[in-house]
């Protein structure tokens, strides 16, 4: 167990940040899954900018790596263009 007040506070704040990051990442993963399940090109194209925005926010906050965000965006774009 931590002995310093600052260490205890750091543990508390790290837990809060971890939960927040986990929530944002899981929400984005669910949105990506929903997008992949859509069979209609127009509907998928309408949902795509929202998913891109979520990925960019995760990358900006360093929840995921910027290259991972780029790879996901590229794959999703290719998938929708194939429809």
Instruction: Give 56: exposed, middle or buried? Use CB within 10 Å, 0-12, 13-18, 19+.
Output: middle
Is 3 among the domain residues? no
Distance CA 67, CA 65 (A): 5
Q: Report if residue 1 sits inside a domain.
A: no
Q: Is residue 33 part of a domain?
A: yes
Residue 38 region by backbone torsions, left for phi larger than 0, else alpha for psi between -120 and 50, else beta: beta
CATH code, 40: 1.20.58.110
Residue 2 pLDDT exceeds 80: no
Instruction: Give the tens place of pLDDT for each residue, 46-72.
Output: 999 999 999 999 999 999 999 999 999
Number of domains forming the structure of the chain: 1
> What is the mean pLDDT of the segment spanning 18-36?
96
Q: Is residue 6 part of a domain?
A: no
Percentage of residues in the chain having pLDDT higher than 90? 93
Confirm whether 40 is domain-assigned: yes
**Is residue 1's pLDDT more than 90?**
no
How high is the pLDDT of residue 62?
A: 94
In terms of residue numbers, what domain contains 71? Answer: 17-82
pTM: 0.83
Quote the pLDDT of residue 3.
82
């Amino acid at each position: 167990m931590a002995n310093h007040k600052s260490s205890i506070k750091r543990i508390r704040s790290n837990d809060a940040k971890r939960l927040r990051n986990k929530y944002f990442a899981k929400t984005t993963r669910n949105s990506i899954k929903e997008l992949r399940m859509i069979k209609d090109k127009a509907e998928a194209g309408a949902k795509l900018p929202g998913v891109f925005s979520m990925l960019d926010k995760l990358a900006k906050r360093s929840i995921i790596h910027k290259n991972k965000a780029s790879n996901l965006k590229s794959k999703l774009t290719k998938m929708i263009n194939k429809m």
